[in-house]
Amino acid sequence: QMLLVQSGAEVKKTGSSVKVSCKSSEYAFNYRYLHWVRQAPGQPLEWLGWITPFNENSKTNYAQRFRDRVTITRDRSKISSHMELSSLTSDDTAMYYCARGGIGDRSAFDMWGQGSMVIVSS
Amino acid sequence: EILLTQSPGSLSLSPGERAILSCRASQTISDTYLAWYQQIPGQAPRLLIFGTSNRATGIPDRFSGSGSGTDFTLTISRLEPEDFAVYYCHHYGSSPITFGQGTRLEI
């Protein structure tokens, strides 16, 4: 079964950037939409954006409130995706998840990474 | 943007009882694009239901989903100890993708 394994916890300074990775065990990962979702402590889930499969040229779509700060990429050979968030503030302290979508953009998220904790402090 | 409002915010029940969780959308949505997730503290969410009423792989049949238009429901017919968690509804039919604020199911 495909697994999504994320990078470890990060502690960042206010104003800096963080890059979180999500790696799969199977090449089929490259042919599914990949989403990034975050969850601040005690808060609900919040969608950040998605990236399309390679056969759709890895296009991206971001939530409006993150559009100027988030970049999602994917690496075909490493069967992975990265999410970079810039201009960090304490409000960005959260668990960040990658989640597998479907072949199309309108699919539920049937597999999740274990999460990567990002702590932002001054 | 489709806003999802879940009720109640928390629910206290006992094993063996039935739980009914509600999710109301801010406008009519297609039932094709409504899902439910379970999140146990310290773990990633797990897909339970997609397309309003379809159970994901490996999900027991005590979990069922229903609804249409703006009102959707997740029912857990006979609560097991491992069902006590937070449940989120999720709309994925348009951008931005949105989640409800969650219902905490407590023993």
Q: What token pair was written down for B41?
A: 């503290």
A26 touches chain B (CB under 8 A): no
A58 touches chain B (CB under 8 A): no
The residue among B35, B97, B85, B42 whose CA lies nearest residue A115 is B42
- Number of H helices and E strands in chain B, helices first, is 0, 11
Closest-approach residue (CA) in chain A for B36:
A108
Tens digit of each residue's pLDDT (9 = 90 or more) over B51-64 = 999 999 999 999 99
Tens digit of each residue's pLDDT (9 = 90 or more) over A20-72 = 999 998 888 888 999 999 999 999 999 999 999 888 888 999 999 999 999 99
Q: Note whether A47 contacts B98, CB cutoff 8 Å.
A: yes
Average pLDDT over residues B20-31: 97
Q: Which of A64, A106, A110 sits opposite B96 (nearest CB)?
A: A64
Q: Note whether A106 contacts B100, CB cutoff 8 Å.
A: no
Q: In chain A, pLDDT over 90 holds for what percent of residues?
A: 79
A-chain residues near B45 (CB < 8 A): 45, 97, 99, 109, 112
**In a mutagenesis test of the B interface, which of A1, A3, A45 is the best target, namely the one with the most B β-carbons within 10 Å?**
A45
Tens digit of each residue's pLDDT (9 = 90 or more) over B36-93 = 999 999 999 999 999 999 999 999 999 999 999 999 999 999 999 999 999 999 999 9
Residue A119 contacts by C-beta under 8 Å, 6 or more apart in sequence?
A9, A10, A11, A12, A93
User: Max CA-CA distance within chain B?
Assistant: 38
pLDDT at residue A56, rounded to an integer:
81
Cβ count within 10 A of residue A34 = 26
pLDDT tier at A2 (50, 70, 90 boundaries)? confident
Given a cut of 80, whether residue B21 has pLDDT beyond it is yes
CB distance B73 to B6 below 8 Å: no
Tens digit of each residue's pLDDT (9 = 90 or more) over A62-108 = 999 999 999 999 988 878 999 999 999 999 999 999 999 988 889 99
Tell me, what amino acid is at B92? Y
pLDDT at residue A75, rounded to an integer:
87
Give the rounded distance of the alpha carbon of A72 from its chain centre.
7
Three-state SS string over A63-105 comes to CHHHCCCEEEEEECCCCEEEEEECCCCHHHCEEEEEEECCCCC
